[in-house]
A and B are shown apart, each in its own frame.
Chain A
Amino acid sequence: MDTTQLLKGVLDVAVLAVIRDEDGYGYDIVRRLRAAGIEEVGDASVYGTLRRLYSGGMLSTYVVPSDGGPHRKYYGINDQGRAMLTDHRKSWEQFAGIMSGLLSDTKPRTARVRAIGEKA
């Protein structure tokens, strides 16, 4: 399966996660994502996401001048961003658990489906 489709929904959280511990500039963040195993992500998608998160108040930003070249724009996560990350992590874990259960062959699917929809 093409993971780029999956990635679209979670790139926000992935970006927040890789700068949770350390601020980073655009391409630095791309490298971290790739190092973490998200190989297919386009750098422009990451920069656009950074800008959207910044507009949404999740990030702070500052510019660092560079000696021999163009300046770098650094992004850091703020409290609102951390809160969002925590939120997303919880819902992701829940969702991932459900998906893992759904997709695994060992458990009865119907029971799980009822649990999701709370129909039982």
Chain B
Amino acid sequence: MTTTLDYEQVTAFATAVRRSLVDLGPDSLDDLTDGLEADLADKLADGEPLGDAAAYAAELRAAAGVAPATRPTIAVNVRANLADLRSRFAPFVAHPIVVEVTAFFVALRPVWWVLRAWGLFFILAGFHTVPSNPYDPWLLIALLVLSVQWGRGRWLPWKWSRGAVIVLSVVALLALPTAASYLVQKITYVDDMDPNDFIPTGLLLNKQQVTNIFAYGPDGEPLTDVRLYDQSGQPLSLSGAWGEETYWIDEETLLVPSEDAGTEGWNVYPLQTVDYADVTEDGTVPTWAKREQPELPFASVHQLRGYEAPVDDNK
């Protein structure tokens, strides 16, 4: 007769036995321990103690002729496979070209050590490619020293150190493409911000943008609606604003192209202005917007020497 107490004891014992045999895999384990509870319950009912589960599992394993569990199976397998690979590729590895190429990359190992340090720095410094606070330089130096020492086979005090270095190396390797792209972006950004390297389009005078042109006639009086071309017949565009509706010159004023010159509206000088308040939200200039002549730099300039006022035929 099986009591509840017996059954709990049996279940616990069977679970412990299965746990000891878990390395066999689910199928073999089932084969070996199917019906175990019933047998154990009978054993208890016969007045026999269940004994030690681990010893019981070992006896079961030995009698069934299945291999005892070995802990470092993965490491052993990997090592065996590597040795096998090595022997297979031995003739290939011995080839002079392969030897030469291998030597080349071995010579490059220090570069990898530095890159590994940088990859780890990138992660530890919160995705900064270069030191960005007072501690970062020390972190970078520390990682550099560590990485180089690891590369030289030093500073690996524990058995698992080599494994840890491999893991860190993989992490660093995975971080490198991102770090590199961050760095490239950073460099490009810096370039864009450097006023010495920035070349604006349009017409420049002493590296300053010319935004408008004021022409004066031989009589010294301002001209309007002047159209200008360069030596090859290109209309002069000051701001590079071809195709644009407007060009900002300050917070309240916009330059606009002439409406009377077709596609060469930007080549009618001086460019007229409209008030910012008149421009619609999407940046277009409504036809009713009031166009004004810009403020002249000079009301008039000196007449050209020898200028003669045209003779008025009607006089």
Which A residues contact B (CB, under 8 angstroms)?
11, 25-28, 30-31, 42-49, 51-52, 54-55, 63, 66, 68-73
Our pick among A31, A46, A69, A70 for the contact of B63 (Cβ within 8 Å) is A46
Chain B neighbourhood of A48, CB < 8 A: 32, 59-65
Q: Are B56 and A44 neighbours in the complex by a CB distance under 8 Å?
A: yes
Task: Judge if B203 is at the interface, Cβ distance under 8 Å.
Answer: no
Interface extent on B, as a size class?
20 to 34
Task: Judge if B36 is at the interface, Cβ distance under 8 Å.
Answer: yes
Q: Are A73 and B59 neighbours in the complex by a CB distance under 8 Å?
A: no
Which B residues contact A (CB, under 8 angstroms)?
2, 7, 10, 31-32, 34-43, 46, 56-57, 59-65
Bound: A112/B144 CA distance, A: 81
Q: Is the interface of B mostly helix, strand, loop or mixed?
A: helix
Q: Is the interface of A mostly helix, strand, loop or mixed?
A: helix
Chain B neighbourhood of A28, CB < 8 A: 42
In the complex with contacts A52-B64, A54-B31, A69-B59 CB distance below 8 A: no
Q: Are B38 and A71 neighbours in the complex by a CB distance under 8 Å?
A: yes
Our pick among A27, A44, A52, A66 for the contact of B65 (Cβ within 8 Å) is A52
Q: Are B7 and A69 neighbours in the complex by a CB distance under 8 Å?
A: yes
Q: Are A69 and B64 neighbours in the complex by a CB distance under 8 Å?
A: no
Q: Are A47 and B39 neighbours in the complex by a CB distance under 8 Å?
A: yes
Our pick among B39, B57, B64, B65 for the contact of A26 (Cβ within 8 Å) is B39
Given contacts A25-B38, A44-B63, A63-B34, 19 further A-B contacts (CB under 8 A): A11-B63, A26-B39, A27-B43, A43-B39, A45-B59, A45-B60, A47-B60, A47-B64, A48-B61, A48-B65, A49-B63, A49-B64, A51-B63, A52-B64, A55-B64, A69-B7, A69-B37, A69-B38, A70-B37
